[in-house]
């Protein structure tokens, strides 16, 4: 299985800050990477597919980049409603695997 390692596992930032989360795959996954946002008690929401493709309706402060094994998820200016846990997921190989999640809190 491809292991997905997210960093950090948690972070606390202030409103307006730039937030960066990294995701590293244990082998090359080209750009077959998704980013999901999950708020407490809710289903995950797809924000970005194909490493950098922002889904329709998702605010432009969210972005993704990377290819191969190293990927970055960025929130350009943190908003209170962005408090959630964020997961990366690879879909290059079966089984499709998720990172362990990054819990984002407001400082």
Partner 1 sequence: QLQLQESGPGLVKPSETLSLTCTVSGGSISRSTYYWGWIRQPPGKGLEWIATIYYSGSTYYNPSLKSRVTISIDTSKNQFSLNLRSVIAADTAVYYCASSSGGITMKVWGQGTLVTVSS
Residue numbers of the site for partner 1 (CB under 8 A)? 1, 34, 36, 42-46, 49, 55, 87, 89, 91, 94-101
- 56 CB contacts (<8 Å, ≥6 apart)? none
Q: Which is nearer to partner 1, 58 or 72 (CB)?
A: 58
Please state the closest distance from residue 44 (CB atom) to partner 1, in A: 6
Do 34 and 52 form a contact (C-beta atoms < 8 A)?
no
Q: Which is nearer to partner 1, 16 or 95 (CB)?
A: 95
CB atoms within 10 A of CB 51: 23
Please state the closest distance from residue 5 (CB atom) to partner 1, in A: 12
Beta-bridged to residue 85, according to DSSP, are: 38, 103
């Amino acid at each position: 299985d491809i292991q997905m390692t997210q960093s950090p596992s948690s972070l606390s930032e202030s409103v307006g800050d730039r937030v960066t989360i990294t995701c590293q795959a244990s082998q090359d996954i080209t750009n077959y990477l998704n980013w999901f946002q999950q708020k407490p008690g809710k289903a995950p929401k797809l924000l970005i597919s194909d490493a950098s493709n922002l889904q329709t309706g998702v605010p432009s402060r969210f972005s993704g980049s990377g290819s191969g094994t190293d990927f970055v998820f960025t929130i350009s200016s943190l908003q209170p409603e962005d408090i959630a846990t964020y997961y990366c997921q690879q879909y290059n190989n079966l089984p499709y695997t998720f990172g362990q999640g990054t819990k984002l809190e407001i400082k």
